[in-house]
Amino acid sequence: MTRAATDLPLNLNLGPATTQVVEAVLAAWPIHRKFLRSSLSDRSDRLLDTTEVISDLLLRIANTGAPTLEGMVADYRYLCEEIVFPEELFFQREGRYRLSTFDEAYREVYGNNVLMTRYMNGLLVSDVLWVNHASAMDDYAKVYLPTTPGGGRHLEIGPGHGMLLDLSLKYGNFSSLNAWDVSATSIQHTQRVLNLTGNANRVKLSLTNMYSTETTLANEECFDTIVLSEVLEHLEQPAEAIHIIKRLLAPGGEVWINVPANGPAPDHLFLIRSLSEAVDLVKTAGLQVTRATAFPVAGASLERAVTEQLPLSCVVVGAKVP
């Protein structure tokens, strides 16, 4: 490979971990260089710092050898070309997501352990490389967590690859941290990440269905903060989920929600088209929206992303008024 294919990080003031991730991507996928320059070039110092934190976690996972960094990069390319791109074509043609039920998503995605593993690995890399993903993580770590009360009781629903839990431990100050997921595979993956970072004893992981009435009754008003990141789009009944979250929150508690708009994927069921739709969903559940923002994909303004139905990462903070 020529020097030109690998010099991108040298010109962008990236941290050493981010540089290593970017160079690995360029070594395997040189044609991705133009996109990476667009996505990385205008990041603020704060966002670059958060990107470095995410990259460091990715490398710690990769250094265990299961998977290697090269394997995670291959899974990222698989995510872009084989998982997301066909769904984007369908969305552009039909104006809707391809699937609409959990059973369909389970048959095609969740029940396929090989695909799910590659999907999760690819998404973690995307949190470094896609500016809308990295910006949402930065909002959580550097904007939201510093405002949470010290000693609060924290819950994450759908921890996925465990990165937000890692950020919660770094930037939050909670008396207890809980994480629920309906997927045993996801729980195992999150547990592995917590073991790797030495935080296994700081988070209580549970194989828990938030829609269970028994779960809701047992945990009513138990949490001061709840995080729901990239979960609503996977649900058939997202409005009901936010109503349940309201019941789980203590008076004065807050939920931080990250949901993609116009973000097709093979397991995305619920389509939100704009930040205002995400805000309305939270308000309808009876929560007071205290803050809302959206981050467009690389190279697009917020206005253009809304007009052309390009992907947005929408962040909405809702409070349970006492």
Average pLDDT, the chain: 93
Which pTM value belongs to this model? 0.94
Residues 151-195 have pLDDT tens digits of 999 999 999 888 999 999 999 999 999 999 988 878 888 998 899
- Indicate if the pLDDT at residue 2 is higher than 60: no
Structure confidence at residue 4 (pLDDT): 44
CATH fold of 131-319 reads: Rossmann fold (3.40.50)
* Whether residue 67 has a cis bond before it, omega within 30° of 0: yes
Structure confidence at residue 65 (pLDDT): 82
- C-alpha 84/C-alpha 62 separation (Å) is 23
Structure confidence at residue 52 (pLDDT): 97
- Indicate if the pLDDT at residue 89 is higher than 50: yes
CA torsion through residues 194, 197, 201, 203, sign: negative
Domain spans of the chain, in order of start? 3-129, 131-319
Give residue 16's pLDDT band: very low, low, confident or very high (50, 70, 90): very high
- Indicate if the pLDDT at residue 3 is higher than 50: no
- Indicate if the pLDDT at residue 147 is higher than 90: yes
- C-alpha 62/C-alpha 67 separation (Å) is 6
Find the mean pLDDT for residues 113-120: 89
- C-alpha 231/C-alpha 38 separation (Å) is 27
Q: Are 246 and 173 in contact (CB under 8 A)?
A: no
